[in-house]
Structures are given as structure tokens and as C-alpha cells.
Amino acid sequence: MKHKNIAESIATAFSGLMFALRHQKNSRYLAMIAIVVTAVSPWLGLSMTEYMILALTISVVIITELINAGLEYAIDLVTEDYHHLAKAAKDVAAAAVLVACGNAVAIAVIFVVSRVKGS
């Protein structure tokens, strides 16, 4: 599917995001967590650099979840039968989300601990 202009490309990407939020439970959970973290972050007194790190961290988690969901749909399109390579592909994509989430939690702990120690 070729797009005629940037507006169509953006509309298609937005449609994909909305599809994931409607049909992927984990995408909804991660979006809700991102909203809560973003809403609470002003009380941490973050620096501009820390806000950029927070935004990048949230983006990486959402991006990996969207790639994971897309890969799962593509694999399910090719086969619904069990295949060890299909399972491995899904597991590896899920591991990427796990690593991104672990990184996000570690950064959150660093931000909070540095505030508590700084008080």
C-alpha cells in the first residue's frame, strides 16, 4: 500500500496505534502506565534532561510493544499451527518488551531514589 502524501502516512500510523490500543491488552496497560507516569512526573522535580530520558524511555517501551504486536499478527497470518520457530519469534519479541520495561523501571527507581536521598 503506497501513500500519496505524508498526511496519509500519518493517518495510517495513527490507525495502527488505535488498532493496537483497541485489540492489544498489553498496549492499553502500557499506555495507561505511561499516562500515569507522565502525570506524576512533575512532582519529582525532574530536570529537562531527566524529562527527555523519561520521554525516550516511555517511547522505547511503547515502540517495542507495537513491534511485538505487529510481529505476532504477521506470524498469525502465516500460520496458526504451532511451530517452534513461530513460538521463538514471538518469545524473542516479547523479551524485547520485557527488557524495555525493565529499563523503564530501573530509570524510575533511579529518579525516585535520587529525590528521596536529595531531600
Q: What angle do CA 93, 83, 79 make, to 5 degrees?
A: 85
What is the pLDDT tens value at each position of the chain, 119 positions in all?
676 799 999 999 999 999 999 999 999 999 999 999 999 988 888 899 999 999 999 999 999 999 999 999 999 999 889 999 999 999 999 999 999 999 999 999 998 888 877 75
In the annotation, is 65 catalytic?
yes
Domains of the chain: 25-118 (1.10.287.3610)
SS3 at position 3:
coil
- How many Å apart are CA 86 and CA 111, to the nearest integer? 38
Cell of residue 112, nine digits: 525516585
Catalytic residue, candidates 8, 65, 72, 80: 65
Q: What angle do CA 19, 98, 53 make, to 5 degrees?
A: 85
Check if the beta carbon of residue 77 is closer than 8 Å to that of residue 113.
no
Cα 66 to Cα 6, 32, 43, distances in angstroms: 21, 15, 29
In terms of residues, how long is the chain? 119
